[in-house]
Structure 1
Amino acid sequence: MNDAAVSTLEGTAAAGVTPVVRLRKLARSFTQGGVTIDVLRGIDLDVMPGQIVALLGPSGSGKSTMLQAIGLLEGGFEGSIEIAGAHATALGANARTILRRDHLGFVYQFHHLLPDFDAQENVILPQLVAGRSRADALSRAAELLQALGLGERLGHRPSQLSGGEQQRVAVARALANRPDLVLADEPTGNLDEATADRVLDEFLRLVRGQGSAAIVATHNQRLARRMDRVVRLQDGLLKQG
C-alpha cells in the first residue's frame, strides 16, 4: 500500500470508524497422532471498511483456517473476533448465522455452485435467504452477471460454463447481498494465468465499486501486489508486507 493510502486508513481509524474485522490473539491448534500443531499463534488484525487485504502465504500456512475463523464457519478458536462491531465469539449459533448472512460474502477456490440451478438462480438464492423479494433478487443477479460479462449466460447451468465463467458466477453470488466483507480463499487458484487475471480484475472492480472490504488468501505474490495491503501468514503469525 502506498503512503497516501496508509495515511488515509490511519486517519479513518483515528476518527473512530469501526473496523469491518478486528482480530485479537486469534489462535487455533490441532492435535494429530498425539502431536499438537499450532496453526495460528495469536493473530491481531484490523481491516477497515473498503480495504482490500491480500493474505499471503504458502499452501498449508493456515490461510484457510484463518478465513474459516473470520467467516464464523467453525469453532475451536481462542481469542476474539469482531465483525462489523459485533463480538462474534460471544454470540450463539443463530446470531452467528445472521451475522454471517448479513455481513459476509464468500468466494472459494472451487466455485461450489449448485449444479441443478442456472447462473442467475445460483445468485438469486442467497438473496432470497436474506429476505429479498424474488423480483429484486432477479434484477440484482442479472446486474452482477452482466457486469461480469455473463449477460448471455444467465440461463446456463454450471456444467455449461467454463471454469472462469463458473468462478465469475461465484463472485456474483458472494457480492449479491452487498456484504461488508468478502472472504476469498484462493479465488483464482484453479484458473490459468490469463483467466485468473480477468477474474481478479472483475472481482476487485466490483468489490471496490460497492465499497466492500475483502480479505483475499493467495500464494501468488503478483496478484497480492494488486491489492491495497499485504499481510503474510508465516509460522502461525501475521506479518505486514
Structure 2
Amino acid sequence: MNNAVVRLQNLTRSFEQGGVRIDVLRGANLAIQPGEIVALLGPSGSGKSTMLQAIGLLEGGFGGLIEIAGINASQLGKDQRAAVRRDHIGFVYQFHHLLPDFSAMENVVLPQLVAHRSQDEAQVRARELLDALGLGARLDHRPSQLSGGEQQRVAVARALANKPQMVLADEPTGNLDEATADRVLGQFLELVRGEGSSALVATHNERLARAMDRVVRLHDGLLEETGLR
C-alpha cells in the first residue's frame, strides 16, 4: 500500500441542509496502485462526485487522510493543492468543459503551457494524444464543430496532457449514446493504460464498470469492494 498513487483513510464529509446534518462520506478508505483503473459505482446522489472532489483537492471540509503520490494533501494550503493538481492529477467530466474559442489542439496545449512546457513540446504532445484518439484530422476544429464523442475525446487528451499519475473521471460517458460511450470509454482505457496512469472512474453503469481492473461501490458513505466483473 505504501506506493499507492491515491490513499484515502477514514475520509469524511458532511453538509448542513435546512438545519439537518447530512453525512455524505462516513469514513471511506481506498488505495489505488500505480497503473490501476478502478470503477467507482454508485447511484446519483451517493457521493461519487464528492469523493472525486476530495481526491482532486478541489475543495476543503474533508476529514481524514488524503494522500496523492505520497504527498499528504489533507492540510495543504491553496497554492500547494493547486501544484499537486497540476503535477499529478488529470480530470475528465461528464460535460467536456472545453474552451469554445480554442481549437482541439489549443485546448490540449494550454494546460501544458500552464505547467511550463514549451510551446513546441506542448504541440507535439497534443498531436500525439489527439492522433491516438482518432482526431488527427480535427486538430484545428473548435468544440462547436465536433461531435459529442469527439469533444469528449479532446477532453480525455487534455486530461492526459501533463502525464498525470492519476486521472479522475466523473461519469465521462454519461452524456453520450451507448455506442459512442462504449467507443470513447474503450479509447480512454486504452490510452490511460498506455500512458501508465492510474484512474478512478465514477459511474452508475455496471456494464461499463466491468471494463475496469477493479470495482468499488459507494454505499451509505462507505466504500465496499465488489466482485462485479
What is the TM-score when the length of structure 1 is the normalising length? 0.93
Q: Does 1:159 align with 2:144?
A: yes
**Partner amino acid for 1:240?**
E
Matched with 1:233 is: 218
Q: Does 1:181 align with 2:166?
A: yes
Matched with 2:183 is: 198
Q: Does 1:92 align with 2:83?
A: no
Q: 1-side partners of 2:133 and 2:5: how far apart?
A: 25
Matches within 5 A, 1:66-105: 66-105=51-90
Q: 2-side partners of 1:21 and 1:108: how far apart?
A: 19
Matched with 2:108 is: 123
Matched with 2:195 is: 210
Q: 2-side partners of 1:25 and 1:38: how far apart?
A: 13
Matched with 1:140 is: 125
Q: Deviations over 1:121-143 (max 9, x none)?
A: 00001100001000010011011
Matched with 1:9 is: none
Q: Which runs of 4+ in 1 moved over 4 A?
A: none
Q: Deviations over 1:161-214 (max 9, x none)?
A: 000000000000000011000000000000000000000010000000010000
Query: Secondary structure of 1:217's match?
Result: strand
Shift, 1:93, TM fit: 1.1
Q: 1-side partners of 2:16 and 2:7: how far apart?
A: 27
Shift, 1:58, TM fit: 0.4
Q: Which moved more, 1:84-93 or 1:48-57?
A: 84-93
- Aligned partner (choices 3, 16, 37) of residue 22 of structure 2: 37
Question: RMSD of the alignment, in Å?
Answer: 0.6
Percent of matched pairs sharing the same residue: 75
Query: Secondary structure of 1:167's match?
Result: helix
Structure 1: state its 5+ residue gaps.
1-12
Q: Which has the higher helix share?
A: 1
**Partner amino acid for 1:197?**
D
Q: Does 1:168 align with 2:139?
A: no
What is the TM-score when the length of structure 2 is the normalising length? 0.98
Q: Which moved more, 1:87-96 or 1:159-168?
A: 87-96
Shift, 1:90, TM fit: 2.1
Q: 1-side partners of 2:90 and 2:97: how far apart?
A: 13
Shift, 1:92, TM fit: 1.3
Matched with 1:4 is: none
Q: Deviations over 1:12-60 (max 9, x none)?
A: x4xx5x1000001100011110011110000110000000000000000
Query: Secondary structure of 1:90's match?
Result: coil
**Partner amino acid for 1:176?**
A
Matched with 1:28 is: 13
Matched with 2:37 is: 52
Q: 2-side partners of 1:132 and 1:80: how far apart?
A: 31
Q: 1-side partners of 2:139 and 2:43: how far apart?
A: 35
Structure 2: state its 5+ residue gaps.
none
Q: 2-side partners of 1:20 and 1:143: how far apart?
A: 25
Q: 1-side partners of 2:125 and 2:7: how far apart?
A: 30
**Partner amino acid for 2:197?**
S
